[in-house]
Chain A
Amino acid sequence: MSEVADKLGALPDSSAIAMRLKADQYFDAIQGMLDRFATKKDLEVVYVTSTIPSQSIINALEVLEIPMDHIWFVDCISQIMMSQAKRHAHAIIVESPTMLENIMLKVEFLLRKHADRNALVVLDSINSLAIHNNTKILSEFLHILVNNLRSRGAYTIIFSMQEYETEDIRNMLVLVSDESIELGT
Chain B
Amino acid sequence: MPTKERSDGERERCLIGIDAIDHILNGGIPRGNTVLISGSVGTGKTSICVEFLIRGALNGENSLYLSVTEPTDKLLKNVIPFDFFDERLTKQGKLQFIDLPRMYEKLGIDTEELDFDQTRLLADTIAGVVEDQKVKRLVLDSVTSVCYRIKDQERIRDFLLRLGTALSSRGCTTLLVSEIMSSEEGYSRWGVEEAIADGVIVTGNLERRGDLLRTLQIVKMRGTTHSRAKYVLDLTTAGVLLVPLLKGGSVAGGG
Residues of A within 8 A of B (CB): 95-96, 98-102, 104-106, 108-109, 112-113, 133-134, 136-141, 144
Which residues of chain A are near B236, meaning CB under 8 Å?
A: 105, 109
Partner of A112, one of B208, B232, B238, B244: B238
| Cβ of B243 under 8 Å from chain A | yes
Partner of B246, one of A96, A101, A106, A112: A101
Stretch at the interface among B68-76, B88-96, B136-144, B247-255: B247-255
| Cβ of B192 under 8 Å from chain A | no
- The answer on a CB contact under 8 Å between A102 and B232 is yes
Which residues of chain A are near B234, meaning CB under 8 Å?
A: 102, 105-106, 109
- The answer on a CB contact under 8 Å between B248 and A138 is yes
| Cβ of B121 under 8 Å from chain A | no
Which residues of chain A are near B244, meaning CB under 8 Å?
A: 101, 144
Interface of B is mostly: strand
- The answer on a CB contact under 8 Å between B248 and A101 is no
Partner of A96, one of B83, B211, B238, B249: B211
Considering the chains assembled together, what is the distance between the CA atoms of A105 and B232 in angstroms?
Answer: 9
A99 to chain B, nearest CB (A): 5
| Cβ of B161 under 8 Å from chain A | no
220-255 of chain B: CB within 8 A of chain A: 232-234, 236, 238-239, 241-250
- The answer on a CB contact under 8 Å between A134 and B232 is no
Number of residues from B at the complex interface, CB < 8 A: 21
19 extra interchain contacts, Cβ-Cβ under 8 A, other than A134-B249, A136-B250? A96-B211, A98-B208, A98-B209, A98-B211, A99-B213, A101-B213, A101-B232, A102-B213, A102-B234, A105-B234, A105-B236, A106-B234, A112-B239, A133-B248, A133-B250, A136-B248, A137-B246, A137-B248, A138-B248
Interface of A is mostly: helix
182-211 of chain B: CB within 8 A of chain A: 208-209, 211
- The answer on a CB contact under 8 Å between B243 and A137 is no
B255 to chain A, nearest CB (A): 11
Which residues of chain B are near A101, meaning CB under 8 Å?
A: 213, 232, 243-246
Which residues of chain A are near B83, meaning CB under 8 Å?
A: 113
Considering the chains assembled together, what is the distance between the CA atoms of A180 and B100 in angstroms?
Answer: 61
Which residues of chain B are near A113, meaning CB under 8 Å?
A: 83, 238
Which residues of chain A are near B238, meaning CB under 8 Å?
A: 109, 112-113
Considering the chains assembled together, what is the distance between the CA atoms of A99 and B213 in angstroms?
Answer: 8
Q: If A102-B232, A106-B234, A109-B238 touch, does A140 touch B211 (CB 8 Å cutoff)? A: no
Which residues of chain B are near A112, meaning CB under 8 Å?
A: 238-239, 241
